[in-house]
Amino acid sequence: MLILALVGLLGPAPEHVFLACILAKWPWYARMIHTITRQYADMPYVCFARVAGYAAPAIIRRHLLPRAAGEIAVLATLDSGSVILLLSALSFLGLNVQPPTPEWGAMLSEARNVMTLHPWQMLPPGLAVLLVTAACNLLGDSLRDALSPRRTSRTR
């Protein structure tokens, strides 16, 4: 709802949609990344680095970031499917890119007008959104399985 309100206030332009998505999603990403890095902050090698006198940026760069990068990548790929759906929904409502620019949501909106005469015109953009979103989710699941071998060995 926040993204819809921000785009409605700023106007239908790709830059405004991009800005609204960033403003609405950054608290969630910050909370998730904070949670991911906190689980590594109390590990023995991080405590040893603190005792050895390493500065906080060095500890983050050498110890926390390499361990958390995989989980952050999984988080980003899993969320990219929902962002694609969001952008398509905003285009469907006419709040994203404007008509000469091709976009799946706008194509679905235009095909809605001739749905009774040519219903197959909704299939290509609808299937494209479905397949790309599913591919993003499958990529995120595959990354999660590849980067956390302990989780996959327990589930088998």
Tens-place pLDDT, residues 113-138:
887 888 888 888 889 989 999 999 89
Total number of domains in the chain: 1
User: Cα separation of 29 and 35, whole Å?
Assistant: 10
Among 8-12, 22-26, 53-57, where is mean pLDDT lowest?
A: 8-12
Give me the pLDDT at residue 25, please.
Answer: 86
Domain hosting 134: range is: 2-155
User: Cα separation of 57 and 37, whole Å?
Assistant: 13
Radius of gyration (C-alpha) of the chain in whole angstroms: 21
Burial (CB < 10 A; 0-12, 13-18, 19+), residue 129, is buried
